[in-house]
Structure formats: structure tokens, C-alpha cells
Structure 1
Amino acid sequence: MEHKISGPARAGLSIYALDLQRIARFYETVLGMSRVHESPEVVVLQSSDIQLVLHRIPADRAATISLSSPPQRRSSAIKFFFTVPDIAIARSAAQEAGGDVLLEQWQGPGFVVCDSCDPEGNVFHVRESVASLKKNSPTN
């Protein structure tokens, strides 16, 4: 199933996987998603409804995980994300509300992202589109 993709998704999930390609094929097949980015460590799948960012679990952590058949559910392997107009403003608002948006950020296809947590420690990501960064740059 083909989906019209019009830039980075505004919301979605990050999923951490032992077998990155197997998990990518699973979601492509089950949900009819399309690959929009791929590297040895990350596969990005998208539909008109949602984006999945699939991350390979680092080898040191992967060595501590064993899978069973049928699979045992893991609740700590998925993070949701939201796109915000400005990460700096989101960071300030999060701190005022008792949470945090961490300073470390990394770039994905068309966006930058930071780990964040709510007042109870639940981890999620906030993202800002690259287009928004360029628009808010002091050189523009």
C-alpha cells in the first residue's frame, strides 16, 4: 500500500528492536507502511497516519535481552514523539511544569529530536522540523 508522504510526521513512535530488518518488515507488512529512511541503525516507516522510527538496540544492551516464542511483551521499548514549533520553548515549558527536555539532540530525516520526560519520569521525544529551525535561525 503506497502512502503520500509530505515531510516529517508530526507524531509517531520510536521502537527499539533486536532484529531491525525483521521488525521493519513486520510493520511494513502488517500496517502497509513505506520506508522513508534507512541506515544500519535506524529504519523510518511512515503512513498517512503515523511514523515509526525503528532503532537497533545497541549490542551491549542487546546481549542482556532474550526473546521467547511467543514473544514476551516489553513495555519499555516504545516511546511516543510529538513535533513542537520550537524545542527551546518546549524545554522551558516542560521545566516550568515539572518535567524536562534534555539538551542533547540529534538529527533525523527533516527534524531534530530530544529526549524528554514528564513529571513522573515517563520518557518521550519532542521534535522540531528542520524547516522550522531554518525559519527561526538568527541569520534569516
Structure 2
Amino acid sequence: MSGPQKSGVIVYSNNIKRLSDFYTGMFNMTLLRETDDFISVGDSDFNIVIHTPPIKIPEHHFNTVKIFLTVESLEDARGRVEKLGGEALAGEWSNPVFSVCNISDPDGNHIQIREFKL
């Protein structure tokens, strides 16, 4: 796999190393990148980003798995989401490769959407 995947899943964990060891050992995934805040594992078909949670994970009512998908335009996607019964959540983040923001589907599941930079 070369460069970041366009889709996959983010898994929040208080012990990212333990979870990384599980996915690499269980599914023969490869360690792709590791920082203090996240570990990326995967293969040519799928990427799992194991991330330190942005907030303290409560025992209940916190979705620790979040899919991420690529869109052509964050702005256009944020405009469409409410028409389709979802919600555009506050905030947008960027790195040198892509920009991201969060939306929720009609059931309240959070989804990270990514717009890759050319």
C-alpha cells in the first residue's frame, strides 16, 4: 500500500499498542505507521487507524469504531449530509495529504470524511 488509504476504519483505544498487536497478529496486517497518538495497520485492501481517543472514553455511549471515507469536496459533502438526514459536525482538520471533518449518519454514527489534496 502506498500512501494513506481512501477508506477504512478508525478504532479508538486507551491501549493502542495492544490493539495494534491484536490486528497484526490476528489478521496478518502490517504496521504502516506509528506515532504517539496513533498506529496505522493494514494490507493492500484495508486500513485500520488505531487512535488515542480525543476525549476520555466513557464506559457507555461512546462509539469506539468510526469509518472513514473519501469525498471529492468536504464543502459539498457537508452541504449534502443534512439533506440526507445526517448532520455536519463542527471542526475541520488538515495534514499535508488530506483535510478531514466529521459527519453523522441518520442513526447518529460518526463518519470521518476525507478530501485528498492534489
Query: TM-score over 0.5 for the alignment?
Result: yes
- 1:96-115 Cα offsets, whole Å, 9 max, x none, are 22212334122357322211
Which residue pairs with 1:70 in the alignment? none
Residue 50 of structure 1: how far off its partner (Å): 0.8
SS at match of 2:108: coil
The structure number with the bigger radius of gyration is 1
Which residue pairs with 1:61 in the alignment? 56
TM-score relative to the length of structure 1: 0.71
Q: Does 1:15 align with 2:11?
A: yes
What's the Cα RMSD here? 2.3
Residue 6 of structure 1: how far off its partner (Å): 2.5
Runs of 5+ unmatched residues, structure 2: none
Q: Using the aligned pairs only, state the percent identity.
A: 30
Contact 1:100 1:117 in 2 (8 A): yes
Q: Which has the higher helix share?
A: 1
Question: Which of 42-51 and 29-38 deviates more?
Answer: 29-38
Runs of 4+ in 1 over 3 A off after TM superposition: none
Runs of 5+ unmatched residues, structure 1: 66-73, 132-140
TM-score relative to the length of structure 2: 0.83
Which residue pairs with 1:125 in the alignment? 112
